């Protein structure tokens, strides 16, 4: 599995935490920054490249972090084929993989700390999609995208 990760200036510390987790888990990853020091950047400039690389198959999953995770998740979900969940608890991390087959995870560094973010990412990265009736529902989302987006 290859994971692509990025953050804006509000998510740098959690991004570094998740990069170290992926190294520990031997997960292949690409880190798109930001390398913005004390400056500020615009979250869509990071969300779209990550989402596009997942949508076109260059990566299997994406992880996005900003201050709240909200801007990143809104942006990522604009890209066709992306199912991005904004997650701040371990239960939702598990469910959103099992039921929604989410391919992008968003988190907010001004909402949770690095320890919880690490647990969330670990569960999200290691939980499989249950498929079955959930695949039918995902299929309906894809059908809607094909017709309307
Ligand atoms: C940046 O100040 C902040 O707006 C951004 O990190 C994020 O929280 C947006 O949703």
Q: What is the pLDDT of residue 39?
A: 92
User: Which of 71, 74, 110 is the best mutation target for the ligand 1 pocket, counting ligand atoms within 8 Å of the beta carbon and taking the most?
Assistant: 71
Using CA positions, which residue lies closest to atom 10 of ligand 1?
71
Q: Whose CA is nearest to atom 5 of ligand 1?
A: 67
Instruction: Map out the domains of the chain as residue ranges.
Output: 2-148
Average pLDDT over residues 139-148: 97
With the most atoms of ligand 1 within 8 angstroms of its CB, the residue from 66, 70, 74, 107 to mutate is 66
pTM score of the predicted model: 0.98
The contacts of residue 14 (CB under 8 Å, 6+ apart) are 7, 65, 107, 109, 112, 114, 117
The whole-number pLDDT of residue 57 equals: 98
- Please check the confidence at residue 37 and state whether its pLDDT lies above 90: no
- Determine whether domain 2-148 maps to CATH 3.40.1400.10: yes
Closest Cα to residue 38, out of 74, 6, 8?
8
């Amino acid at each position: 599995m290859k994971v692509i990760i990025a953050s804006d200036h509000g998510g740098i510390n959690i991004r570094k935490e998740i990069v170290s987790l992926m190294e520990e888990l031997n997960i292949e990853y690409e880190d798109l920054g930001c390398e913005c020091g004390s400056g500020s950047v615009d979250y869509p400039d990071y969300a779209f490249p990550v989402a596009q690389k997942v949508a076109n198959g260059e990566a299997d999953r994406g992880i996005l972090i900003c201050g709240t995770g909200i801007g990143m998740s809104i942006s990522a979900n604009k890209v066709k084929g992306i199912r991005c969940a904004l997650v701040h608890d371990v239960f939702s991390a598990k469910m959103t993989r099992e039921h929604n087959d989410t391919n992008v995870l968003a988190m907010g560094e001004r909402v949770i700390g690095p320890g919880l973010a690490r647990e969330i990412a670990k569960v999200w990265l290691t939980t499989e999609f249950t498929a079955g009736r959930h695949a039918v529902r995902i299929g309906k989302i894809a059908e809607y995208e094909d017709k309307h987006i």
